[in-house]
Amino acid sequence: MAAKNWFDRTRVYDAMIDFENLVIDTTHGQILYVEGISVSFDGFKALNDLTLYIGDGELRCIIGPNGAGKTTMMDVLTGKTRPDKGTAFLGQQIDLLRMTESQIARAGIGRKFQKPSVFENLSVWENLALALKAPKTVWTSLFARFNGEQRDLIDETLAIIGLEAERAQDAASLSHGQKQWLEIGMLLVQQPRLLLVDEPVAGMTQQETERTAELLTSLAGERSVVVVEHDMEFVRSIARTVTVLHEGSVLAEGPMHEVQQNPRVIEVYLGEEC
């Protein structure tokens, strides 16, 4: 019966959301309000009363040991996993826990998974065109005549992700790092206000990692960016504020230089690394 109630509630909420004119209320400076979220899997608490806030335009890094709940947190924010309790709002008013995955994406949260999922047989340009908000089927996306605004958006995005020279190449020919950037580009053309990025530099070369640091840093400001990453050198290079998750809740939060001296953080995560 719970499922039916859930379905009905979502439908009602959908009817209430005017996605075209959606305003994310950040007048109090925050774009994301997560309060008291708990998620259990067979009695195991993956998230345990998690509370955190992300500022509008902020670049936040989330670190923590394996199993700390980092990916589960992103699953909750994107509607993939329903928490047992707690609240999650985009801006002051958009109740993420009442929305489906696709509604959340339309409302302005973009998520980058670890494994790139670009269309290998399509060109870089076509991949971005397919990801545009408007036409939704493959057929209409590829064969529609894009208007000037859409073409400009694709061109701007190609510049941001540094793939202008590769625009006509098949995605299959890109390096691992370039595929990751293309996927970030596919999110950017949907013009999200909040980007969630899970382990972006895993498997990247040193040079690609540095380029990714520059890219994510440049994306913040106009948007908010939450990055989960284990690569501490990378985190140090981009982070203003770092949140440390441990056993499903926040263990520490603050500037990297403070967090990495916190004895509890050293004990549970950083160990000898610092």
Ligand X SMILES: Nc1ncnc2c1ncn2[C@@H]1O[C@H](COP(=O)(O)OP(=O)(O)OP(=O)(O)O)[C@@H](O)[C@H]1O
Contacts with ligand X, residue ranges (CB under 6 A): 41, 46, 64, 66-72
Work out what residue 108 binds among ligand X, Mg ion, none; the CB cut-off runs from 5 to 8 Å by kind: none
CB nearer to Mg ion: give 70 or 211. Answer: 70
Tokens encoding 242:
């770092």
CB nearer to ligand X: give 39 or 132. Answer: 39
Tokens encoding 52:
């955190």
Spatial distance between the Cα atoms of 257 and 145, rounded to a whole number of angstroms: 51
Spatial distance between the Cα atoms of 181 and 164, rounded to a whole number of angstroms: 12
Contact with Mg ion (CB under 5 A): which of 30, 71, 178, 209? Answer: 71
Spatial distance between the Cα atoms of 52 and 63, rounded to a whole number of angstroms: 13
Using CB under 5 A as the binding rule, whether residue 72 contacts Mg ion is answered as no
Q: In 3D, which of 93, 99, 111, 118 has the Cα closest to residue 174?
A: 118
Q: In 3D, which of 259, 251, 198, 241 has the Cα closest to residue 68?
A: 251
CB nearer to ligand X: give 25 or 49. Answer: 49
Work out what residue 21 binds among ligand X, Mg ion, none; the CB cut-off runs from 5 to 8 Å by kind: none
217-252: buried (b, 16+ CB within 10 Å) or exposed (e) per residue? eebbeebbbbbbbebbebbebbbebbbbbbebbbbb
Residues linked to residue 196 through DSSP beta bridges, in sequence order: 111, 226
Q: In 3D, which of 92, 55, 110 has the Cα closest to residue 221?
A: 55
Q: Please give the residues from 220 up to 259 whose contact with Mg ion meets the rule CB under 5 A.
A: none
Work out what residue 68 binds among Mg ion, ligand X, none; the CB cut-off runs from 5 to 8 Å by kind: ligand X
DSSP code for 19: G
Work out what residue 94 binds among ligand X, Mg ion, none; the CB cut-off runs from 5 to 8 Å by kind: none
For Mg ion, which stretch binds (CB under 5 A), given 10-18, 27-35, 65-73, 120-128? Answer: 65-73
CB nearer to Mg ion: give 70 or 179. Answer: 70
CB nearer to Mg ion: give 132 or 204. Answer: 204
For Mg ion, which stretch binds (CB under 5 A), given 51-59, 69-77, 122-130, 182-190? Answer: 69-77
Least distance CB 162 / ligand X (angstroms): 27
Work out what residue 72 binds among ligand X, Mg ion, none; the CB cut-off runs from 5 to 8 Å by kind: ligand X
| Footprint of Mg ion (CB under 5 A) | 70-71
